[in-house]
Amino acid sequence: FKFKIAFLGKELSLENEEESKFLLTEAMSMGDKSALALAFFLSKFKSKVNENDIIVFDDPMSSLDSHRRNKTIVELSYILNKGTQVFVFSHDATFLTDMKKYSGNASFTKCYELSVNISDLNEYDINSSKVFKSKIIHKNDFDSYVKHSYELEYKTLHAFVKCPTEEMKVAIARLIRPILEAYMRMHLPNHFTEGHWLGEMISLIRGETDINSPLFDSSSCLDKIAQINDFSKNYHHADGFDTKIRELNVQELHVVAKDTLLFITGI
Q: pLDDT class for 3, splitting at 50, 70, 90?
A: low
Q: Is the pTM of this model over 0.85?
A: no
Quick one: 141 and 158 in the same domain?
A: no
In this predicted structure, the answer to whether residue 224 has a pLDDT above a threshold of 70 is yes
Picking from 123, 146, 169, the residue at the C-terminal end of a domain is: 146
Find out whether 129 and 121 touch, Cβ atoms under 8 Å: yes
Quick one: 38 and 57 in the same domain?
A: no
- pLDDT given for residue 2 in this prediction: 58
Average pLDDT on 90-97 reads 87
- The fraction of the chain above a pLDDT of 90, given in percent, is 32
Quick one: 195 and 172 in the same domain?
A: yes
Quick one: 154 and 244 in the same domain?
A: yes
Q: Provide the number of structural domains found in the chain.
A: 3
In this predicted structure, the answer to whether residue 260 has a pLDDT above a threshold of 90 is yes
Domain that holds residue 99: 50-146
Quick one: 259 and 155 in the same domain?
A: yes
pLDDT digits (tens, 9 = 90+) for 46-59: 888 888 899 999 98
For residues 49 and 80, give the distance between their C-alpha atoms in angstroms, rounded to a whole number: 10
Quick one: 181 and 230 in the same domain?
A: yes
Burial 182-205 (b: 16+ CB within 10 A, else e): bbbbeebeebbeeebbbeebbeeb
Q: Report the range out of 8-17, 108-117, 129-138, 147-156 with the highest average pLDDT.
A: 129-138
